[in-house]
Structure 1
Amino acid sequence: MNTRTRSRSHPNSHAIGEAKERLAESFLIERGLRLVARNQRSRFGEIDLVMRDKAALVFVEVRYRRSMRFGTPEATVDARKQRRLILAAQHYLSLYPTQLACRFDVVAIGAQDDIHWIRQAFSL
């Protein structure tokens, strides 16, 4: 008998999340950004994508929702999530210092893979 507790999320949520991050990455590359790093983890959290947009280093949070029943994907990037992303970005910058301007973008993906790119979604 398996004694592990079941996750509340969908069994393939990790695979779906990875696929949506790749979709967001392709979308941004098509618009001229360059990939610097993926899935940068720290004790503060994870940065989905780190990209370069001309003279800016962009920390990208990818959010996906199968349904808008409980709100839009971008609405899930609340103040708490923003704080965690800022701390994770500061940690990244302590490891990889840069003179580039930095910004936080959100790529929100809906059920039909419709993409809403929010540049400068929030700031430090």
Structure 2
Amino acid sequence: MEGKKALGDYYEGVAARYLSHKGIQILERNVYSRGGEIDIIGLDNDVLVFFEVRFRKTGSLVDPISSITPAKQKRLLRAASFYLHRHHLWDTATRIDVVGITPGTTSKYRVQWIKNAIQAG
């Protein structure tokens, strides 16, 4: 399990660097609450963004974005709600984005950033 956590931390670092280069101000990483875990929390201008980071190896049957199940989506929504409640940020503009990472062909990684990927239904 420690290996899986270290791998997750590594790819969250890759995502954080990518997002920083795209203008996101990283506020927190690996935020845990009763609602679940949020990989990265950042600011995109005046929008508070909760990021889910997914990595898949070459040859994986499912791409990183598609690997987020409906149950995982519910956990992410719950974790974001707990965070907003705990920090009294209910009036803040927010969204949940997904960053998918796969090994690249012309560069080390292929990073796919889907804005507003998960919405409250």
Query: Normalising by the residue count of structure 2, what TM-score does the alignment of the two structures yield?
Result: 0.88
Q: What is the CA-CA distance between 1:14 and the residue it aligns to?
A: 1.6
Q: What is the CA-CA distance between 1:12 and the residue it aligns to?
A: 2.4
Q: Does 1:67 align with 2:58?
A: yes
Correspondence for 1:104: 96
Q: Measure, in 1, the Cα distance between the counterparts of 2:60 and 2:43.
A: 34
Q: What is the CA-CA distance between 1:68 and the residue it aligns to?
A: 3.9
Number of aligned residues: 115
Q: Measure, in 1, the Cα distance between the counterparts of 2:60 and 2:95.
A: 29
Q: What is the CA-CA distance between 1:66 and the residue it aligns to?
A: 1.1
Q: Measure, in 2, the Cα distance between the counterparts of 1:119 and 1:96.
A: 23
Counterpart residue type for residue 20 of structure 2: I
Q: Does 1:92 align with 2:83?
A: yes
The answer as to whether partners of 2:50 and 2:80 remain within 8 angstroms in 1 is yes
Structure 1 residue corresponding to 2:44, chosen from 47, 53, 60 = 53
Q: Measure, in 1, the Cα distance between the counterparts of 2:36 and 2:92.
A: 22
Q: Does 1:114 align with 2:110?
A: yes
Query: Normalising by the residue count of structure 1, what TM-score does the alignment of the two structures yield?
Result: 0.86
Q: Measure, in 2, the Cα distance between the counterparts of 1:70 and 1:46.
A: 25
Superimposed CA distance per residue, residues 5-33 of structure 1 (whole angstroms, 9 cap, x where no aligned partner): xx6xxx62221111100110010111111
Say which one has the larger Rg: 1
Q: What is the CA-CA distance between 1:67 and the residue it aligns to?
A: 2.8
Q: Which runs of 4+ in 1 moved over 4 A?
A: none
Superimposed CA distance per residue, residues 48-102 of structure 1 (whole angstroms, 9 cap, x where no aligned partner): 0000001100000000011343210111112111100000011111111223210
Unaligned runs of 5+ in 1: 1-6
Task: Within 5 Å, give how 1:25-44 maps onto structure 2.
Answer: 25-44=16-35
Counterpart residue type for residue 107 of structure 1: V
Equivalent pairs: percent with the same residue?
A: 35
The answer as to whether partners of 2:35 and 2:80 remain within 8 angstroms in 1 is no
